[in-house]
Every structure is written in structure tokens, then in C-alpha cells.
Amino acid sequence: MVNTKVSLCGKVLENPVIPASGTFGYGAEFAKIYDINCLGTFSFKGTTREPRFGNPTPRIAETEGGMLNAVGLQNPGIDHVLAHELPEMQAYFHKPVMANVSGFSVEEYVEVCRKLDDCPQVGWLEINISCPNVHGGGMSFGTDPEQAALVTSKIRHVTKKPLIVKLSPNVTDIAAIAKACEDAGADGISLINTLLGMRIDLRRRAPLLANRTGGLSGPAVFPVALRMVWQVYEAVKIPIVGMGGVQSAEDVIEMMLAGATAVEVGAANLVNPFACRDIVNALPTAMQKYGIQDLNEIIGGAH
């Protein structure tokens, strides 16, 4: 019998498979078609202080090897999540959930995390620092080590929950940013968020997305994500949640060999709503195929 259990920031997951934020909602739609308690956990929709309608449409475009999205953090806001989404989630998900938090100022991140700190259902806070800093000229918090450290430090002071910082790949030195977050009190690093991309409609001679640019995800980004997980593993001592183009149990194993403790699955959920369940089911067979008895023994095993 193989062991698929891993420990993420002190909390045990039955397996390392986690649906990524923005691709799984709050789990309710998926819970109608399979028992989502088979998952390690899931990262719910990116949540901000105020409700957000998101960007104008069209905001999703297909591309070879993946997709572009510019959804714009559409969500009902933290107060609605606390009053409705989390209480309703208790009926269909019986494990700690990962809360993905987004914001446009340090104060907004802090306020949302302070409110989530009192919620027993939330096991981890995943902080998306790819958002534009409205007080910093619009540059993403995640593109500058000092800004990444600042928001991490401020959140650290208002929560006791494990703090996992989600990094943008649209940088020159992701390892330096990861190390800055670790030094500022992060318990884990989550990477990668989407790569900035664009497509043009040949008939209209205009960008396909109303937002002009969007985030590229899907199998095309897997080698980039794997490279960044590898680099960050060499730079930090805290756990890594790897993601980016993961589609199979073999991809999960590859991410873990690069240094990931757990692995998020994003775009694959939008192609096949059973993707995460299928990966969980296939994982023991894949482990046996490659002579793996315990997943913990292969974390960073390719270094």
C-alpha cells in the first residue's frame, strides 16, 4: 500500500491534489457530480474585501496548449463568503479549505485575512500577490521583493493560520521574491500564477479579450512552472505548492520531484470537471509504476 499523505504547513492532506483558486468556485458545483472530499483540499475563489463584478466580456479565450483569462477577480466579497459560502460548504466539504485572498492595498489584504482568521473551516490562507498595488503605481505586489515582504509581514501580524504566498511568474527572479516572503513570515510558497499573454482576432484586428491581455494557463506553461518550483525549492526551506499546467498523476509526481509538497490543478478543471478526482484515483498506480512507496520521500528528489 502506497502512502499519498503529505503535510502542508503542519496540516495533513490525504493526498497532495488541490484544485486551484478560480477554477473550482467554492466547490458546490463540483460537489454535485462527485464527492470532493476525495481531494487533499481545494483553494476557493479569490476573495476581496468588496464584491467584484470582474472585467468586461469577452474575458476568456482559447489558445493552443492552454487558455487566456482576464476574469478580474469576480467574487461576492469577504462578508458574503463568511455569511453564506463557508456555512453552506459545511454540507459538502468536511476538511479544512484553503482560502485564496486578493487585494489592491496592504490594508485590504490585512482586513480580509483578519476576518478569515476566526473561521475554523479555513486551514490555510493563500495570498495572491499578483494584484496591482493601487497605492504603488499599479505595479503588482508580487513583482518586487520589498513589496512582497511588506504585505506578507502585515498579514502575519493578524493571523495565526498557515500563510502561503502565491507568486506571479511575470518576474525576473522569482527565487528572490520567494525568499523575501519566507523572511517576512510566510509558512509556504504557492507558484505559479498565470503568465501574461495575448491573442488578436484577425477579422476585427483587435485583441480577443476585452481587457486586451490575460493570464495564460494550461499545459503550455507546465515547463515554466516546473522550472520556477525547482528554483524556489533551492532558495527557501518552507513548503511549496506547485501549479501550472498540471493534467495528470505523472505531472503531480514531476512537480513533487522538482520540490513541491502539494500540487494545484487549475485549467484542467475547466476542460474536464472530473480532472482532480481522476488524478487522485490515478496517483497510487503512477506511484507503483515509478517505484514510489511514499510521496514524502520524493519531495525535491530530483535535486
Do the beta carbons of residue 194 and residue 218 sit within 8 Å? no
pLDDT tens, position by position, 141-199: 999 999 999 999 999 999 999 999 999 999 999 999 999 999 999 999 999 999 999 99
pTM of the model: 0.97
In a domain, 150, yes or no: yes
In a domain, 303, yes or no: no
Q: Is 68 exposed, middle or buried (0-12, 13-18, 19+ CB in 10 A)?
A: buried
- pLDDT of 133 > 70? The answer is no
Q: Is pLDDT of 137 > 90?
A: no
Across residues 103-111, what is the average pLDDT? 96
Q: Pairing mode, if any, of strands 200-201 and 206-207?
A: antiparallel
Q: Is 282 a domain residue?
A: yes
Q: What would the pLDDT profile of 68-102 be if each residue is shown by its tens digit? A: 999 999 999 999 999 999 999 999 999 999 999 99
Q: Is residue 165 part of a domain?
A: yes
Does a structural domain hold residue 1?
A: no
Q: What pLDDT sits at residue 136?
A: 66
Q: Kindly tell me if the per-residue pLDDT of 211 is higher than 90.
A: yes
Looking at every residue in the chain, the average pLDDT score rounds to 96
Range of the domain at 160: 6-298
DSSP string, 99-147: EEE--SSHHHHHHHHHHHTT-TTEEEEEEETTSB-TTTTT-BGGGSHHH
Active-site residue list: 131
Mean predicted confidence (pLDDT) in 238-255: 98
pLDDT(63) > 90:
yes
Looking at residue 131, its pLDDT comes to 77
Task: Please tell me the total count of domains within the chain.
Answer: 1
pLDDT of residue 27: 98
Cell numbers found for residue 23: 477554477
pLDDT of residue 130: 87
Give the three-class secondary structure for 233: helix
Q: Which sign, positive or negative, has the C-alpha torsion 84, 215, 250, 189?
A: negative
pLDDT, tens only, 11-42: 999 999 999 999 999 999 999 999 999 999 99
Q: What's the CATH number where 63 sits? A: 3.20.20.70
| Position 29 in a domain | yes
* Matching residue, cell 475554523: 120
pLDDT for 70 equals 94
User: With 80 as the cut, is the pLDDT of residue 50 above it?
Assistant: yes
| Residue 114 falls inside a structural domain | yes
Percent of the chain with pLDDT over 70: 98
Per the domain annotation, does 98 fall within a domain? yes
- 244 confidence band (pLDDT: 50, 70, 90): very high
| CA-angle at 269, arms to 263 and 273, nearest 5° | 130
Q: What is the pLDDT of residue 140?
A: 85
For residue 134, pLDDT beyond 90: no
232 SS3 class: helix
